[in-house]
Structure formats: structure tokens, C-alpha cells
Amino acid sequence: MKTALRLAIGFFAAGFALSASAAGFQLPTPKIEKLPNGLTIVWFAGEKLPVVDFSLLVRAGYRDDPAGKSGVSELVAATLDRGAGGMTERQIAREIEKLGASRSATTGDDSFVLGLHGLSIDGERLLEMLSILALKPTFAESEVRKEHTRLKDRWSRLGDYSENLAALAYHRWMAADTVYGRGSFLSMKEFDAVGPTDVVAFHKRHFVPERAVLVLVGRLDEAKTRGWVEKHFGGWAPGGAEAASAAFKYRSPLVPKADERGTVVVVDRPGLTQAQVRIGWHAPAIKSPEHYPLVVGNSILGEFFHSRLNSLIRDKLGLTYGIGSGVTHAMELDTLSISAATQNDQVGKLLVKTREVMKELGSQGVSPEEVAQAREYLRGSFALGTATLGAVASRWLGGYLFGLGPDYLNEFVPRISAIQAPEVSAVFAKGFAFERAAIVVAGDAKLVVPVLKAAGFPKVRVLTAQQFM
Amino acid sequence: MRNFRSLGIAACAAIALSAGCVKGCGGREVSVGLGGDLGVQVKLDVRSLMNGLRVIMIEDRASPIVSYQSWYRVGSVDEEPGKTGLAHLFEHLMFKGTEKYPAKQFFMQLEAKGAEVNAYTTRDYTVYYENLLPELLPKAIEMEADRMLNLKLDEETLQTERLVVLEERRLRTDNSPDGRVTEAMWAQAFRVHPYGWPVIGWPRDLVQLKLEDLVSFYREHYQPANAALVIVGNFDPKATFELIERHYGSLKSGPRPERKIPAEPEQQEERRMVLRDRVQGQKLAWGYPVSSADQDDSYALDVLANILFSGTSSRGYRRLVEEKDLALGVSGSAYTPTYPGLMVIQVMMKGGLAAELAEAELANLFSEVQSAEVTAEEISVAVRQLTVQTIDSVRTPQGLAQLVGVVNSVFGNPQRVSEDIQKYLKVTAADVKRVAQKYLVPNRRTVVTLVPGDAS
């Protein structure tokens, strides 16, 4: 699991020409322009293959679902291509797919992305279709109702997969008392209150040029593309300044309170032979001075194969196929998470051994050699992770939305290179005591709970998937 | 996009040859055009060492990285009943060190410097890869050459890694409704051919594999004549080939293992299996035996699968999801690997509906493509989709290396990558109708249904 920005950023994955190699490379920075209506245009041109990715990002996500109506942004995402600009759902599908192109609409905690991917020679038509979907959705009542039913059907199956169950419960716990506390949807009951008028209202409120960023990636003729952008997005009427939502904080009554830390939440799914385990803490924000020390510390803890967790729990003890850690960021929530899966009767041992690793990090810190190795790892993996233009665009956009400045990406390696062992040790000493962790296990409760208690975890709260829906 | 694999690992596509030339030093450098007339060229430099090791290089100085991939022509097809999972378990052990580079050195020397180091096993081949900065390439070459013949195996390592593999199996199959359906489908469809057992192996076999089984497997299959190196990205081919010669050139190779794979008898009856799990809705999988990758039918099968199941404007999606409102999703593709494969269709039923309803509609769909030709527009759309998928698959050095590696592994000739787009462009409506009639035969069908219930 890698450090990630929890943003719904489109599906860029392009190759590109990088002028320099290895250590000293400078990543391309985009050209940024603004249309008179307030729409920001971000250009990443230079793909060697004849493909393009066009994405429209809107600064609105789950957090912006109205009170009592969580799930609206998901329903908007599901309905945007169900009719637009005088075209039916079927006509839209055919129009895009006959180009060999693909489309996506995804929503997340803070943002919403509509994307089209296809051949460069189809650039104008793709851009036009993107504008039709984003600006002229029909939201016919019958189509919204149909997608509403389908979303409920899909959500009802979250419990079919233990990793989904673990993720659902873990997110509710970690996001408690934040604007993300409801997740993508809080309950079927609440979603039942969502209807076509909510979808139309969400779109009207948030799909305005001032809150949107159009990202153009790939092999582009800039002059022609600029003309197409103006033609298809120039007439998008400004929405005014009031668009920001009144997001509110929410805490699920299911998850342990702050003074109940030490409790393990078990989400019961009978019949499983393997349990999914999630362990996590709130972490320093991405703009915090502790951010880069944490990035280095996370590498040592569980990001690569030779990390402390994997070396002990997989490589030495054979308890799991994989255990990893990762740092994620949303606008108002930052987390350090550990993730693993193990057979039911080893859950206690896995937690005990993870506790030992965290305790050792907290009390003894990390060595200069480990930090030097982690720095080198991060330098190299950053180069790999930004080896395509699409990857650069995706990472750059994440930083841009967090207000990290245009040179954020090119600052990464120098900032990491400056981190020393005491800074990393201080982060672990201060913030990540195992006793304060949120711990979620998704598995067969009748087998897992006795194992947990025997391993020294007496406080267990057993919940079901249905309770989370 | 051609589906050469069958273990839920990303499939690959192919590209079109535009010109060729031969150059010195025993190397064959071939210029390859991507996606027909879309204007992208790569050069394949194909060479061999005296010990039989094939080296395929594609220099791409525009990329900041290199993908170094070691392809061994060994997979689960090379196992025998009672010893299933051997190839995959052995792949895990390849990371356990040699005399020169003890355990964890792959990670210390390469991953700790940012390289992506990993491997995967399929039914037909096993691949070890390093995606790395150019400065790490010499070390990767040295270490891969070392472990090709000098791996250290011991009982303690085997025991620990066996536990890890059993956890992997629990994760991917035993506790995954989709994994169970896939495993059951292949087991029912292939009762003689080794494609019938899962790459990860049956648990009863995994717990009985002995150290001598692994040592014997290693000696037989891991040698230069049974391997190919594929290198793509930012490197100097001349200097790199010299390094490869230095590290691999002295390795002795035995004869390339001969594959004696029993053929699957032609299926004469429909086979059905019902699985139960604690799921909220039914799932349906249909499988039909189809051709191997080296048969031209595979191209028409890909076009047919796209027409039926690729995208929400496909015939299958329209019928099952939009018109009849029976399903939440439907997918289908033809897996055409080294040996005759399987076309698999999967349907996620709408809540509360029985899979039989989708079966009736699928039967109607298939009957339609068997009785009347699809339209020229449908073929055009399918080929366009396959072209974009092809280009997408080679957008990174690792993607391009994977494509060339799989083509070399399946066909024994990396230059075969040049043919696919041209062959797709030649598929006619009559071809699509013919393969539909030939392969989508009810009494050769395997049906697996997953229904809500107690898995035990």
C-alpha cells in the first residue's frame, strides 16, 4: 500500500518523454489557463502514443451530500451518462464506444471526476462528449430511479467480500466526527430519501466552472485543442460564488468512542476461513511539518517488502500473504493504516506481533541506516511512480487540490532527502501507540472472537454488515 | 485484445509489423509499428546466447525507467496430478537467495532503491520482473543470472513459504466468491488437460509438496534454453547485451524440457455445478472450449466477444442489463493461451433473480449470432476497441515488455507481435458467424452458478 491522496482522480496512464533520467530529473509541470467563465484548464501535453485522457474534476464529493441524503453524489455519478444533450443513454454509449474510447464517472470524499479516454484523432469528439455529459445531463426521472435501484442492489452485496466489509467499518471508525463520517452512503434508509430532485440540485450547485478543473493529458495539438475547449466549455455559465457546501461532521454510533480505544470491532461474516484486519490512526496533515518524516516512517513500517511488518509477519512467521501500511489524505482527514489478512486462528498473533512492531518503533525509533534506505527507496519509487505523463498529472492534481503549490512534485525528492532518523522516531513516539489504534477485523466472529480474547484483546464489539448499511 | 492468460492477471494485446531489417552481432532488429497507421514505431532487437537464452531488447530513451523481465517457459501445465501448485510455490522460493546473494538481497539491492521487484505464475509461463531506474539494471542482470542456476533451497524456507501460499489461496480463492466460481469453471471444463487445476494448486497437494519436488522442478525448468529476457526502456542495448553475455553466457543449459501435455477430449455434454456462499445475489458463469492463441480463430473469437460483451452498447449488456433488466453486469472474453482455452461469460444477476433467466437470454443471443451475420459497423467498433486496448497495453515499458514476452512465450517468436492488428482487420462477418457456430455449442458448455447459501 502506497502513500496516497484520497481523491477521485481520473484514469490517466500515459507514457511521455522525460528530458532527463534517474536521480536529477525534473518532472514536467503543466500549463495552467483559465477561461473567462472561471474554468481552470490544466495541460499535460507530450504523450508519445496517440492517445488522450480528458478529465473534468469538480470540487464536490461525499462530504457535499445534503443532510439526511447521503449517496447523492454516487447517484449523480451513476446517472450522468443516462441521457444528455438530447442523446439517450444508448446513443451516448454507442457514440463513445464506437471510437474505441472508454468513460468513467467517479466520486470520492472531496472530488468528482468525469473522464474520457481514447485516440488522439478523436480528440474533438471526445471533448465534445465530455462537455455534453458534464454540462447537459438529462437526469430523467425514470433513469435516476433505475440507477437508484441498481446502486442499492450493488451496495447490498458489500458484505459478500470480507475486504469490503473491513474497509466499510474501518472507514466509518476513522472518519468519525469528520465531514466524511457518512462515507459514500450512510444507510439504505437514508438513500431511500434521495430522489431525482436531489440529483439535479447537486449537479446545479456543484457543476459550475469556478469549481471545476479540466485536465488534458496526452498527444495533443494545443492550438486545435484550445479551440475545442473554448467551443465546448466556453459557454458554460458561471455558477456564482456561493457553491461551497455546508458540509457537517458525523459520527456513527456503531464505532467505539475515543475513551473506548482498545476495543476491537469484529464485523461478522460467518463461514470465512480468513479474516481481514485493518489497524489505523489519525495522522499529521499533508501540510504539516511531520508529513515527510511520516512518509519515510511509513516506508520503514510497511510500504516495501523488506519493511518491518512484512519482514516479521510474512517473511519470518508466514502469517499472511501480505501486510502493508499506507498514509492517505483527504482535505480534512489524514490516516496511517495497516492492512493484512490471515486465517482465523492467527488473528490474535498477527495483532500481537503488529503491536510489538509499533511498540518498538515508538520506544526505540528508527536507525539512521533504515532512514537512509527508506530515502533511497522513496527516491527510486517516486521516479517509477511518475514515469508516465498520466501518473505525473494525477499526482500533480492531488497536490494542486490540496493547495500544495505548482512545484509540489519537484519538491518531493529534496524534502525526503533531508529527513533524518530523529524526526522519524519523533513521529512514531508521538502519534501511533497501538493502544490508541482503531482495529477492525472482518471474519467469522464465532471463531475470531475467542482467538482475540485469548491473545489479550478482551474488549470486542461484534457488528454485522447490515448494521453498517 | 488477445487474452493469453487465465489467472485473473492482466491480459495482453499485440501490435503490427511495418518493416524489418537484420543487423550484425547475430542480432535481429525489427522495426514495429503500433496500431496500424497510428504512427508509433518500436524496434525489437532479438538475439540469442550460445546456451539458448533468448534476449529481446527494445530501447526507449523517452522513458525514465527500464523493465527487465525474465520469462521461463514453465507454468502449472508442467505439473502433474498430486503436485499441483508446484510452479507457483517455486516462484515464491526464487526470492529466498543464493550463496552469493542470500535471502532478501533482491529487496535490499533493488527494491530498497525504489525498484519494483515481483513475479507471477500462469498456466503457461512464469515471469520475474524488475521495473527500475537505469542505474540499477546491471545489478538486476547479475542477480537474475545468479538465481537462474544457483538458488538455495531448504526445508525451513519451504515450510514458511508454504504457509504464505496457503494464505494467498485463502485470500484469492477460498474466501472470494469470484475466485471460487473461476476455479470451479476451469476444473469442470478441463478434466484431463492441466488447465483444469488452479495455478495456485489444490490445498491437499500444497501441503504434501516436498523439498525434493522443488529441487527437481528447478533443475528441469530453470535453465537458459528454457528462458527469455525481455528488456524495455531507457538502456543501451549494446552495453546491456555485453553484460548479459558476461553473466549468463557461462551458464550451462540442459535440453529444453519437452512438454507432454495430455489433450482434453472434446466435451460431449453440458456440465453443471452449483456453488453456495453467503452472497446477496446469484452469479452465473458459462464456459465454452475455444482455440489456442496460435489459431486464427482466436481473432474472430475476440471480435465476437467484443461485439457481445465489450461496453454498455454491446449486445449482451443491452439485452441482459438494459432491455430485460435481469442483471447488474455482464462480461465475456475468449482466453486463448498456448493450448486450447475457454471463452468465459459471467453475469451478476439482479437481486432476487435466478440465473436461469440470464441463461435463456444468453442462449437467444448466441443463437442470433449463429444464424445471422453481425453488421459491418459492429465489427468496426470491435476492432477499434481492440486497437485502443492494444495501444493502452504498451503505454509503459513494463506493458510493452509483457506483451513481447507473452507473444514470445506462446508463439516462440517475438516478431509475432506484429500480426494481431492486421489479423483483426481481416475478420469478416462470416468469420464471426462461423466461430460462433463452431464454439458456442450447448453440449460443450460448462455452467457454474453461485447462489446464496451456506458455503460449507
Among A4-13, A138-147, B26-35, the minimum mean pLDDT is found in A4-13
Q: How confident is the model at residue B9 (pLDDT cuts 50, 70, 90)?
A: very low
State the pTM of this model: 0.91
- Whether the pLDDT of residue B11 is over 70: the answer is no
At B349 the three-state DSSP class reads strand
What positions of B carry a catalytic annotation? 91
Angle between helix A291-298 and helix A368-385 axes, rounded to 10 deg: 90
Among residues B240, B193, B192, B214, the alpha carbon closest in space to that of B45 is found at B240
Residue identified by cell 495456485 is: B200
Give the per-residue pLDDT at A242.
59
Q: Assess contact for B173 and B127: CB atoms under 8 A.
A: no
Cβ–Cβ gap B159/A154 under 8 Å:
no
Rama region for B39: left / alpha / beta (φ>0; ψ in -120 to 50; rest): left
Give the per-residue pLDDT at B20.
26
Cβ–Cβ gap A157/B117 under 8 Å:
no
Residues of chain B neighbouring A165 (CB-CB closer than 8 A): none
Whether the CA torsion A455, A461, A462, A465 is positive or negative: it is negative
Angle (CA) A8-A381-B8 rounded to 5° is: 65
- Whether the pLDDT of residue B267 is over 80: the answer is yes
Among residues A339, A323, A358, A331, the alpha carbon closest in space to that of A277 is found at A339
Residues of chain A neighbouring B176 (CB-CB closer than 8 A): 161
Give the per-residue pLDDT at A388.
86
Cβ–Cβ gap A305/B234 under 8 Å:
no
Mean pLDDT of B259-288: 96
Higher per-residue pLDDT: A469 or A41: A41
Q: How confident is the model at residue A7 (pLDDT cuts 50, 70, 90)?
A: very low
Mean pLDDT of A177-195: 95
- The minimum CA-CA distance between A343 and chain B, rounded to whole Å, is 7
Cβ–Cβ gap A21/B133 under 8 Å:
yes
pLDDT in tens, B201-249: 999 999 999 999 999 999 999 999 999 999 999 999 999 999 999 999 9
At A419 the three-state DSSP class reads coil
- Whether the pLDDT of residue B21 is over 70: the answer is no
Q: Which of residues 334-393 of B touch A (CB under 8 A)?
A: 350-351, 377, 380-381, 384-389, 391-392
Mean pLDDT of B128-144: 96
Per-residue b/e over B10-21, b at no fewer than 16 CB within 10 Å? ebbbbbbbeeee
Whether the CA torsion B345, B350, B352, B354 is positive or negative: it is negative
- Whether the pLDDT of residue A295 is over 70: the answer is yes
Question: Residue A227 is inside which H or E element, if any?
Answer: helix A222-233
Q: And the C-alpha cell for A252? A: 456513527
Cβ–Cβ gap A318/B162 under 8 Å:
yes
Q: Which of residues 397-426 of B touch A (CB under 8 A)?
A: 397
Give the per-residue pLDDT at B135.
94
Cβ–Cβ gap A271/B392 under 8 Å:
no
Q: How confident is the model at residue A304 (pLDDT cuts 50, 70, 90)?
A: confident
Contacts 24+ apart (CB under 8 A), A419-422: A419/A292, A419/A293, A419/A296, A419/A371, A419/A375, A420/A368, A420/A371, A421/A365, A421/A366, A421/A367, A421/A368, A421/A370, A421/A371, A422/A365
- Whether the pLDDT of residue A162 is over 80: the answer is yes
Give the per-residue pLDDT at A407.
82
- Whether the pLDDT of residue B276 is over 80: the answer is yes
pLDDT in tens, B383-409: 999 999 988 988 899 999 999 999 999
Share of chain B above pLDDT 70, in %: 91
pLDDT in tens, A330-355: 999 999 999 999 999 999 999 999 99
Please, what is the average pLDDT of chain B? 90
- The minimum CA-CA distance between A397 and chain B, rounded to whole Å, is 20
Residues of chain A neighbouring B62 (CB-CB closer than 8 A): 15-18, 48
Q: Which of A51, A103, A394 to mutate to test the interface with B (most CBs of B within 10 A)?
A: A51
Cβ–Cβ gap A274/B313 under 8 Å:
no
Give the per-residue pLDDT at B421.
82
Please, what is the average pLDDT of chain A? 91
pLDDT in tens, A109-133: 999 999 999 999 999 999 999 999 9
Q: And the C-alpha cell for A228? A: 475545442
Mean pLDDT of B1-21: 33
- Whether the pLDDT of residue A188 is over 90: the answer is yes
Among residues A337, A65, A41, the alpha carbon closest in space to that of A206 is found at A65
**B15 CB within 8 Å of a chain A CB:** no
Spatial distance between the Cα atoms of B45 and B27, rounded to a whole number of angstroms: 6
Higher per-residue pLDDT: B209 or B254: B209
pLDDT in tens, B164-204: 999 999 999 999 999 999 999 999 999 999 999 999 999 99
Burial of residue A24 (CB within 10 Å: 0-12, 13-18, 19+) is exposed
At B296 the three-state DSSP class reads coil
Q: Which of residues 114-143 of B touch A (CB under 8 A)?
A: 114-117, 131-136
Among residues B31, B34, B17, the alpha carbon closest in space to that of B386 is found at B34
- Whether the pLDDT of residue B329 is over 70: the answer is yes
Residues of chain B neighbouring A15 (CB-CB closer than 8 A): 62-63, 395-396
- Beta partners for B88? none
Question: Residue A379 is inside which H or E element, if any?
Answer: helix A368-385
Q: And the C-alpha cell for A12? A: 490517466
Give the per-residue pLDDT at B31.
61
Q: And the C-alpha cell for A350? A: 498477527
List CB contacts of B291: < 8 A, sequence separation 6 or more.
Answer: B297, B298, B301, B336, B340, B341, B439
DSSP states of A41-104 = EEEEE-BSSSEEEEEEEES--GGGSPTT-TTHHHHHHHHTTSSBTTB-HHHHHHHHHTTT-EEE
Q: How confident is the model at residue A10 (pLDDT cuts 50, 70, 90)?
A: very low
Q: How confident is the model at residue B8 (pLDDT cuts 50, 70, 90)?
A: very low
Mean pLDDT of A11-31: 53
Spatial distance between the Cα atoms of B387 and A237, rounded to a whole number of angstroms: 37
Give the per-residue pLDDT at B36.
57
Whether the CA torsion A30, A34, A38, A43 is positive or negative: it is negative
**B104 CB within 8 Å of a chain A CB:** yes
- Whether the pLDDT of residue B299 is over 90: the answer is yes
Spatial distance between the Cα atoms of B292 and B301, rounded to a whole number of angstroms: 11
pLDDT in tens, A388-424: 888 999 999 988 889 887 788 999 999 999 999 999 9
Residues of chain A neighbouring B377 (CB-CB closer than 8 A): 98
pLDDT in tens, B137-152: 999 999 999 999 999 9
pLDDT in tens, B422-436: 899 999 999 999 999
Give the per-residue pLDDT at A165.
94
Q: And the C-alpha cell for B389? A: 486496448
The number of C-beta contacts closer than 8 angstroms across A and B is 196
Spatial distance between the Cα atoms of A142 and B121, rounded to a whole number of angstroms: 47
Give the per-residue pLDDT at B22.
25
Cβ–Cβ gap A160/B279 under 8 Å:
yes
- The minimum CA-CA distance between A64 and chain B, rounded to whole Å, is 27
Minimal Cβ distance to A101: which of B164, B168, B388: B388
